[in-house]
Structure 1
Amino acid sequence: MKYRTLLASAAIFAATGTAVTAQDISFSYDKNGWETGFQALSDGASEASGLNISPQLQTPTDRYQAFVQSSIAGGNTPPLFTWWNGKQLDSLVETGQVADLSAAWDKAIAEGYFSEAEKAQVSVDGVPYAVPLNVARWPVLYSKEAFEAAGIDNPPQTWEELTAAAEALKAAGYTPFNAPNVGGWMGLIWFSELMIRTDPDAFVGLTDGTVPYNGPEVKAAFDIWVDFYERGYFTDPREQDDTRFFVNGEAAMWLIGEWAAGVLETKGMEPGEDFGAFIMPTVTPEVENSIIVETAPIVVSRQALEQQPELSAAVDYLMSPAAGNALGEANGIYNGNIQSDAPNAIVAEVNELMAAQQPRGIVRWWEAVPPDLQGDLVSQLGAFMLNPTADNAQRIMDDMQTLNADYWAYQ
């Protein structure tokens, strides 16, 4: 997303950024259902800084994005706000309106709160411009009851074991994978996963224009996707309650961010007891083991930090174990702070898997793809899920590449 996109958004929404005053610092976000956690973070940041920091929820996401973009274009950047990393963060940095948080990161790393890996997730050209709100790895959650009923003793470690488990689950009366296209955006999840299980370098190449969407690397992923649908491995994509089939026991596995463990807990499923987690294996052994990492950053207005230096104390708090624990206790969210407690057994299990397997962390497609392409490409992937045939897959790949080529031709 270039600066022109920010200016265009101003035509949709009037600049409504909150004025920076000592008594009123807004903390804007679009994470519906996280209200308790944002209130806890705001309370802690207020106490640490002496400022009155108040959370402001705005949904849906497209409206929230337009609000932030128009505010920046109008010179009224929200003091604190959540965003996305990857190329979405790049576009904000281009405006010059977000603060360099190198000083806060230097302190946090020196204290052992975060590693350089987390810093890299919120950096542009090596400079950190955000604080992690949520660092979520994307494993496969699995129902322990379903696995037991199907005679599966351990989570699959190879692709052959994965497909064998899916067949055993089908035989036991389960749909292997919960895969609703909630909100029209879930298509990117399976597309991304199958790409990194076959060729993670090609997946990265899709996000910078060096790999075409209708090339052999993408076709290999779509071939598996089509095959899985033909085998009956997926639930109805039209379902709009993303937890329904997993919670009611119809689906046995769910490819999702580990943050979903907290959501499932509110639905009566106990993390670690009712369900566990594993990292999906690669299709062939020579493929590098990888995992999608979703990092939701908190961004700070450069102007706000200059006018209210006390805001730096709020930033330091947001990078502390206390903040990580507050968010974890409120919403079951893990922000990547090494010294914070794992908010639930699934996060602890994924931490152990990461330490044991050392997979390559890959920025999620949503954040990595150029924002100007994001909506159109996601729509194409959703259209495939509604008609998952080989012929439609080829049409989707060709249409995606047309959009992709048109975009990169002007960069």
Structure 2
Amino acid sequence: MKLNLLLASAGFVALASAITPTFAQDITLNYDKNGWEAGFEALANGASTASGIKIVPQLQTPTDRYQAFVQSSIAGGNTPPMFTWWNGKQLDSLVETGQIADLSAAWDKAIANGDFSEAEKALVSVDGVPYALPLNLARWPVLYRKDAFEKAGIAAPPQTWEEMLDAAEKLKAAGYTPFNAPNVGGWMGLIWFSELMIRTDPDAFVGLTDGSVPYNGPEVHRAFEIWVDFYERGYFTDPREQDDSRFFVNGDAAMWLIGEWAAGVVETKGLVPGEQFSAFIMPTVTPDVENSVIFEAAPIVVSKQAMEQTPELAAAVDYLMSAEAGNALGEAQGVYTGNLKAEAPNAIVAEVNAIVAAEQPRSIVRWWEAVPADLQGDLVSQMGAFMLDPTAENAEQVMNDMQTLNADYWANQ
């Protein structure tokens, strides 16, 4: 598979070609995760102290612009020293460039020290070789505001699809929009599409990522029917909102389907995890559907050139995989690195840990990481286009357009 270069602007190429990395000076840690500034500052400070080199976090949004910057930098031979990416097929595509550092030495030490296991290593490996370190290991539950549930007379999180629909109607009657659902950063369209697929047919969802299930087949039609119905019922906030947490934080929306890492973002905006908001895993549409949960593993990668020119980076990598770093990120951002010795960063992660332990749902790799890189941008743009015009007619067009792209890709493999 070739790296899908999103050269949307000649400026990205010019920037990548004009700048030569100066690794003897500051090392940039590039990321696209808006609202994670405190967490990246904490990681960069600790890694700087551990390595003796200055590591500077650098935010760039939205996600599609960030991807274009990284990919054009790689194409120009100026791979950023350290940057966040995605695992699965997205990491496979990156490794194919030959510009990403093998982190086997760091993983060997971390596993021997009991910080991680082979299972976590496998999440960031390509052909058995680890090319990244974990930034965040997260499940995707529904966050819910306790005050909204109390006002609406909802005694407990829904355990069945019928209970969830009933809760949504009660929330509407109490003056709330049931779900916060923005389409921010060029990627959020995948959230509800993925969730509705796994709540109706998780095997079909997996089939979408390997070409065995079409995007305009009956399984996808079923998910879109529910998605259209939810819009018609008024269950979603305005998708054009550019502050992804705004409606949940200000109390307009009662629930938010999102990665558990968002608990830290919400906490920095004034809501206390476990006290003012909690979490549940969305129930399946029918009882016969296998209980599942979307699983995300967000990694940090290091350029091969940076590791060769700045050997001190090895110490920074070792720090970032430590329990100390895990706790620092958890305290600053409420995000869990997956370090086995680190503490759960907040009550939401602890609650999801308990739910997963009790219910043992099937873990499914998130669509963003599972889909081939060459399809990712075009398909998620179609999902976002549906959110901006969520009619049955547009849903049909979107499904057909997605399948045209999908079929063309797999026909050339």
TM-score between both structures, scaled by the size of structure 1:
0.92
The aligned counterpart of 1:206 is 208
Distance (whole Å) between structure 1 residues aligned to residue 203 and residue 283 of structure 2: 16
Distance (whole Å) between structure 2 residues aligned to residue 58 and residue 232 of structure 1: 33
SS in structure 1 of the partner of residue 17 of structure 2: coil
SS in structure 1 of the partner of residue 385 of structure 2: helix
TM alignment of 1:206-245, pairs within 5 A = 206-245=208-247
Deviation at 1:59?
3.6
The aligned counterpart of 1:255 is 257
| The one of 349, 355, 358 aligned to 1:356 | 358
| The one of 130, 135, 147 aligned to 1:128 | 130
TM alignment of 1:159-308, pairs within 5 A = 159-308=161-310
SS in structure 1 of the partner of residue 337 of structure 2: coil
Are the structure 2 counterparts of residues 18 and 53 from structure 1 closer, same or farther at C-alpha, using a change threshold of 3 Å? farther
The aligned counterpart of 1:379 is 381
Q: Deviations over 1:326-385 (max 9, x none)?
A: 112222222121221222211221122222222222222222222322222222112222
Farther off after superposition, 64-73 or 216-225 = 64-73
Farther off after superposition, 296-305 or 116-125 = 116-125
Amino acid at match of 1:203: F
Indicate yes or no: 2:89 matched with 1:87.
yes
TM alignment of 1:124-163, pairs within 5 A = 124-163=126-165
Structure 1: gaps of 5 or more residues: none
Amino acid at match of 1:207: T
Distance (whole Å) between structure 1 residues aligned to residue 62 and residue 20 of structure 2: 19
SS in structure 2 of the partner of residue 28 of structure 1: strand
The aligned counterpart of 2:2 is 2
Amino acid at match of 2:388: L
Deviation at 1:142?
0.8
Are the structure 2 counterparts of residues 308 and 182 from structure 1 closer, same or farther at C-alpha, using a change threshold of 3 Å? closer
SS in structure 1 of the partner of residue 393 of structure 2: helix
Distance (whole Å) between structure 2 residues aligned to residue 264 and residue 35 of structure 1: 13
Kept in 2: contact 1:6–1:73 (CA 8 A): no
Farther off after superposition, 16-25 or 183-192 = 16-25
Distance (whole Å) between structure 1 residues aligned to residue 256 and residue 141 of structure 2: 8
Kept in 2: contact 1:18–1:79 (CA 8 A): no
Kept in 2: contact 1:182–1:242 (CA 8 A): yes
Amino acid at match of 1:143: R
Distance (whole Å) between structure 1 residues aligned to residue 18 and residue 70 of structure 2: 9
Q: What is the number of residues matched between the two proteins? A: 411
Distance (whole Å) between structure 2 residues aligned to residue 103 and residue 182 of structure 1: 37
Distance (whole Å) between structure 2 residues aligned to residue 292 and residue 315 of structure 1: 27
Are the structure 2 counterparts of residues 298 and 4 from structure 1 closer, same or farther at C-alpha, using a change threshold of 3 Å? closer
Amino acid at match of 1:376: D
Are the structure 2 counterparts of residues 33 and 177 from structure 1 closer, same or farther at C-alpha, using a change threshold of 3 Å? closer
Are the structure 2 counterparts of residues 46 and 266 from structure 1 closer, same or farther at C-alpha, using a change threshold of 3 Å? closer
Farther off after superposition, 346-355 or 177-186 = 177-186
Kept in 1: contact 2:344–2:350 (CA 8 A): yes
Are the structure 2 counterparts of residues 25 and 233 from structure 1 closer, same or farther at C-alpha, using a change threshold of 3 Å? closer
Q: Deviations over 1:67-90 (max 9, x none)?
A: 322332233322222112122111
Are the structure 2 counterparts of residues 69 and 248 from structure 1 closer, same or farther at C-alpha, using a change threshold of 3 Å? closer
Distance (whole Å) between structure 2 residues aligned to residue 17 and residue 112 of structure 1: 40
Amino acid at match of 1:285: P
Distance (whole Å) between structure 2 residues aligned to residue 4 and residue 199 of structure 1: 29
Indicate yes or no: 2:102 matched with 1:103.
no
Distance (whole Å) between structure 2 residues aligned to residue 331 and residue 216 of structure 1: 41
Farther off after superposition, 332-341 or 140-149 = 332-341
Deviation at 1:6?
7.8
Deviation at 1:155?
0.9
Deviation at 1:204?
1.6
The aligned counterpart of 2:44 is 42
Deviation at 1:17?
5.8
Matched-pair identity in %: 80
Distance (whole Å) between structure 1 residues aligned to residue 312 and residue 80 of structure 2: 16
Q: Deviations over 1:49-100 (max 9, x none)?
A: 2333333333443333233223322333222221121221111110111122
Farther off after superposition, 133-142 or 180-189 = 180-189
Distance (whole Å) between structure 1 residues aligned to residue 141 and residue 199 of structure 2: 12
| The one of 75, 78, 92 aligned to 2:77 | 75
TM-score between both structures, scaled by the size of structure 2:
0.92
| The one of 339, 346, 351 aligned to 2:341 | 339
Amino acid at match of 2:306: A
SS in structure 1 of the partner of residue 86 of structure 2: coil
SS in structure 1 of the partner of residue 38 of structure 2: helix
SS in structure 2 of the partner of residue 182 of structure 1: coil
Structure 2: gaps of 5 or more residues: none
Amino acid at match of 1:290: S
Distance (whole Å) between structure 2 residues aligned to residue 77 and residue 386 of structure 1: 35
Are the structure 2 counterparts of residues 100 and 325 from structure 1 closer, same or farther at C-alpha, using a change threshold of 3 Å? same
Are the structure 2 counterparts of residues 60 and 185 from structure 1 closer, same or farther at C-alpha, using a change threshold of 3 Å? closer
Amino acid at match of 1:394: E
Are the structure 2 counterparts of residues 45 and 126 from structure 1 closer, same or farther at C-alpha, using a change threshold of 3 Å? same
